[in-house]
Amino acid sequence: MRLEQEIVEAILMTLRPRRALDVGTGSGRYLQILARTDAVRVVGVDFSMAMLRRAKVAQPFRAAEPAGLKPCATHLAGADARRLPFARRSFDLVNASLTVGDVVDLQAWTAEMARVLGRGGHLVYSDFHPSWTQHGWIRTFRDRDGETHELTFAAHSIEDHLAALDAAGLRPAAIREPRFRDDSDPAVTAFRRRWRNPPVVVVFHAVKQP
């Protein structure tokens, strides 16, 4: 997630959306970043009400405005990413961090993102890199009792993403496949030694065509 955010945040800070949507907002980590752009309205949506409760604590309210930035209103909503409760062309930017790995029908999801984007709007999103499937990696988390649970994810190839973007009328502006660089972290060092440091995430930036 740190590696993914490093790439995504750099892209987001080059854009100047007035209306931004964070799909699969989770704990709300991107709400803070989107609020630092020129956006005057930021909306975070998630299917999990428990995650939205966490995001509510983290959502930004700018009491003292940074120089040159307008006040930003932040809202949260429970929603299915495949059927967003927003009208067409409601946003200038849609961000989705590691959300599409939970979606089997990639083309339908991408079409829904394009639907709520205005002309010339930006879609920035990330997914688990195809290397996960190639190496047989699994996604896990540990609960409060220390028990490990496995989460499945939908595997998408780079070609699948490009085909879905094209079908939705979205033109790729950038594709990033970052690799770990921090040798000071023992976990990263062990990962690089065992797996020869393949990409772990893929980040797409696409623009809606007029």
**Predicted pLDDT at 62:** 45
Residue 147 vs residue 63, higher pLDDT: 147
**Predicted pLDDT at 125:** 98
* 42-92 confidence digits (pLDDT tens): 999 998 887 788 777 655 544 334 455 566 888 888 999 999 999 999 999
**Predicted pLDDT at 64:** 39
Q: Which CATH class is domain 2-208?
A: alpha beta
Enter the tokens of residue 11.
């892209």
**Predicted pLDDT at 34:** 94
**Predicted pLDDT at 53:** 81
Distance CA 136, CA 171 (A): 31
Domain ranges of the chain: 2-208
Give the closest residue to 153 by CA, choosing from 136, 177, 172: 136
Cβ proximity of 177 and 205 under 8 Å: no
**Predicted pLDDT at 141:** 83
Give the closest residue to 177 by CA, choosing from 165, 161, 188, 153: 161
In this prediction the pTM is 0.90
